[in-house]
Amino acid sequence: MKAKNLALPLMAGALMYGLSQRDKQKKEQEEAVANAPTLGGDFLKAFISATPLLSEVSALSSPEAQAARKDQSGFWPELGLSEGYAANRPSEKFGPALAKAVLPGLAPIVGLGSEASKQARQDQTGFFPELGLSEAFQAGMPWYDYRQNGG
């Protein structure tokens, strides 16, 4: 008799826990998409890093440098310069995107090795499925890697 009385509160608790975990995962996913690197943001970081005086001013005033000065971490913690420089560095997606923009003729050839192109060859989908050609052209676009994670 007591087991029946306990079953309902336990089920309600499990349901509430499941809903809270789902909400937590949804918020984490939204934050990841919001914080994902963008092509424009990486281009701006590359421009700032390449400009002599602007690079130092931006590095010293970045939130990462301020946090390093606060907790005295990193190289030269009084300035927080190393953390500021690290914050101004473009993401690892910027190099391939820049190469695809500078050499647009070679980009589809490189795209033939992409995961999307390999999957199209296996599934026999898209235009010229034997080669995965349509997916190779998509993967050859400079913004392709940024679109993969919603950025």
* pLDDT digit string, tens, across residues 118-142: 877 887 776 676 777 777 777 788 8
Quick one: pLDDT at residue 149? 57
**The token pair that represents 107 in the structure block:** 């980009």
Helix axes 81-88, 52-61, angle to 10 degrees: 110
**pTM for the model:** 0.53
Quick one: pLDDT at residue 100? 80
Report the distance separating Cα 62 and Cα 125, nearest Å.
Answer: 46
Quick one: pLDDT at residue 140? 80
The number of beta carbons lying within 10 Å of the beta carbon of residue 1 is 4
Core vs surface per residue 32-44: b (16+ CB within 10 A) or e: eeeeebebeebee
- Grade residue 2 by pLDDT with cuts at 50, 70 and 90: low
Based on C-alpha coordinates, what's the Rg of the chain?
24
Domain boundaries, the chain: 1-35, 38-90, 94-147
Residue 37, classed as helix, strand or coil, is coil
HSE at residue 136, side-chain half, CA atoms within 13 A, is: 19
Quick one: pLDDT at residue 10? 72
Q: Integer distance in angstroms from the first to the last C-alpha of the chain?
A: 55
* pLDDT digit string, tens, across residues 54-68: 888 888 888 888 888
- Grade residue 83 by pLDDT with cuts at 50, 70 and 90: confident
Report the distance separating Cα 139 and Cα 151, nearest Å.
Answer: 15
